Amino acid sequence: MANLVIPPATKGFEEIPRKWDSKHNKIIARVDPGCFYITAQDEYVFTRLGSCVAACIWDPLLGIGGLNHFLLPERELNENWHELTSYSCRYGNFAMEQLINGILTLGGQRKRLKAKIFGGAQMCKETVLNVGQSNIEFVKSYLDMEGIEIVAEDLGGPWPRKVLFHPNSGKVLLKRLPSSVIKRVETEEIAYVKGIIKDQTESKVELFD
């Protein structure tokens, strides 16, 4: 596959890492914490989850869909937790709106959209990232409010997860990861949350008016 030419990503997603995977015989796009990816191509979208949640949303008729990866920060990470809680709610809404609106922009129809949701693990009682249940409740409430049917889910528990989503078909390959991976996933999520707090502290721009 040395001479394989990978088709360009959907416009606006050029920075998302994508590579050919010989095991699955498809291109795989990697979504890191705080990011999302939408495609109409025959490719997989990959992410690894701990306390974070991923929503896989697609239009079954057109085969257009994508995946986001987000987490609502816990108040203990910021002294002014009232402000952080408000920001977290707006951030969660923003993460979902980006994904849904992006699919609609490419021609998807809201009434046809389906969802599969994953993540929200409670991996360690000592960690400040013990917010899996809040993430689960948020994503379920949001999709219910939007009238988007959840057709499959794998949520909670103590396990990190690996998710491969194929938007063309809506198929998901899910693997619960061993405990040896927990520390690495926690480190990624801590860095992600600290970045959210830094942005919230430094930015003068609101996500919504």
**Given pLDDT bands bounded at 50, 70 and 90, which one contains residue 69?**
very high
Are 136 and 120 in contact by the 8 Å Cβ rule? The answer is yes
| Tens digit of each residue's pLDDT (9 = 90 or more) over 129-154 | 457 888 899 899 999 999 999 999 99
Q: Are 167 and 45 in contact (CB under 8 A)?
A: yes
CA angle 56, 57, 61 (to 5 degrees): 135
Q: Which domains does the chain have, with CATH numbers?
A: 27-202 (3.30.1330.200)
pLDDT in tens, 2-35: 567 889 999 999 999 999 999 999 999 999 988 9
Query: Inter-axis angle of helices 132-146 and 81-105, to 10 degrees?
Result: 40
CB 33 within 8 A of CB 98: no
- What secondary structure letter does DSSP report for 154? E
